[in-house]
Structure formats: C-alpha cells, structure tokens
Amino acid sequence: MREAMETALQDRTAAPAELTVTWEEVCRYLDSLAARGRRRETIQVYRPKLEAFYHFLPEDKRVAADTLELWRAALLREGYSPGTANTHVSAANGLLAYLGRRDLQLIGQLDTEEEIQPELSRTEYLRLLATARNLGRERTYLMVKVFALTGIRVSELNRVTVRAVEEGRVLTACDGRAQYVLIPACLRKELTVYLRRVGITAGP
C-alpha cells in the first residue's frame, strides 16, 4: 500500500500539471512586451499568432505537455510552411515563459534548410488578404498582392510608382541587371482605383 502511494506520488510529480490560459493573460503578456520596449510592429505580429493558439486550445483552454506539438502539426496540415509554424510556436513559447510554465514549451524547431527563402503558401496568402481586408487596411491588402503577384523584394517596393502602374510594369534590378516585371492586369486595375481614391498622382 505504501509503495503504491509512493509510486502515485512520483507519477504526479513527474507529470507536469496542465495550465489554463485566459485571454486576459494573453493581453497582459502583449502589454508586457510593450513595457519591455518591443516595437509595436513586433507586438502586432505576435497578437494574431497568439490568437490562433488560443482558439486552437480546447474549450477549457488547458495547455498540456503535448499541446504545442499538436498545434504545430495542425498548422502544417493547414498549409503553413515549417518556418511559419516555427514562428507561431515561438510566440506561444514566449507566452508560456511569461506564465512561468517553461515545462510546457515545445523545444526545437522544424528543419527549414530546404526553404531557400521564406515563401507564403496559398493558405497563408489568402489568410493575409482576408485579415487585411477585415481590418480595413486596403494599403496592406494591396502590398500583399504586389509581393505575391510580381515577386519583387521589399526593398523594391518604392519602385511601384504611379507611372509604373500606368505602364503596367516595374523596373527592378536582378543580379545587377535592370529588368521589367509585369504587373498583372487584375492587380493594375485595383492599384489604379486605389490611387485615384486616395489622390496619389505621382511617386511611389
């Protein structure tokens, strides 16, 4: 009897207790990031990832030892790239560290060596567009489309000028050589409507 009780006690000690997470705690964590000097843009990146994590949790919002591993697997099934799944898990790990539960973190990242450069899956691309549209951020919505449909780099965004939209092509530099990248007709039409509505007549 005594041995059974000791075994049960050891098992209970070895198995980490689950953690119940509230949305208020998530918000406090985000506030703490601001208090620690994190940039607003960084916090804006963390928030949707933590929202996704919170909604993934069961109805009682309990985090168990295998929760993050299960969430990462779910993200991959939904079409997220390994690199993006890593960033989601990293955000959740930060939350758990803030709550004093590092024992529930998922250690180790997925191998992303085959990803030559970060690329959005179609699922991620459509989710970004839907989020931007729902938030009423038309400029962000159009920027996502520009990157996805033209393949230009972030550093070349200022080359997307009114004149470039009018001509339907963007002058870029690839390996030191100047070349034109076509702007698809559907995107060109959306950009033209946006430029007219906000009153941009020249420049980027």
**What is the second-level CATH architecture of the domain 2-104?**
Orthogonal Bundle (1.10)
Q: Which stretches within the chain are classed as H helix?
A: 2-14, 23-35, 40-56, 67-77, 82-98, 122-134, 138-150, 162-167, 185-198
Average pLDDT estimate for 78-105: 88
User: What pLDDT shows up at residue 104?
Assistant: 93
More confident residue, 82 or 56: 56
Q: Decide: helix, strand or coil at residue 161.
A: coil
Q: Which of 77-86, 107-116, 165-174 has the lowest mean pLDDT?
A: 107-116
Tell me the whole-structure pTM to 2 decimals.
Answer: 0.51
The residues near 48 (Cβ < 8 Å, ≥ 6 apart) are: 131
More confident residue, 159 or 151: 159
Q: Which of 61-70, 142-151, 173-182 has the lowest mean pLDDT?
A: 173-182
User: What pLDDT shows up at residue 12?
Assistant: 40
pLDDT beyond 60 at 6: no
User: What pLDDT shows up at residue 87?
Assistant: 86
Neighbours of 105 (CB within 10 A): 17
Sign of the CA dihedral running 74, 80, 84, 86: positive
Average pLDDT, the chain: 81
Burial bucket for residue 85 (CB in 10 Å: 0-12, 13-18, 19+): buried
117 with 153: CB under 8 angstroms?
no
Q: Where in the chain is the domain with CATH 1.10.150?
A: 2-104
User: What pLDDT shows up at residue 117?
Assistant: 45
pLDDT beyond 50 at 56: yes
pLDDT beyond 90 at 9: no
pLDDT beyond 70 at 16: no
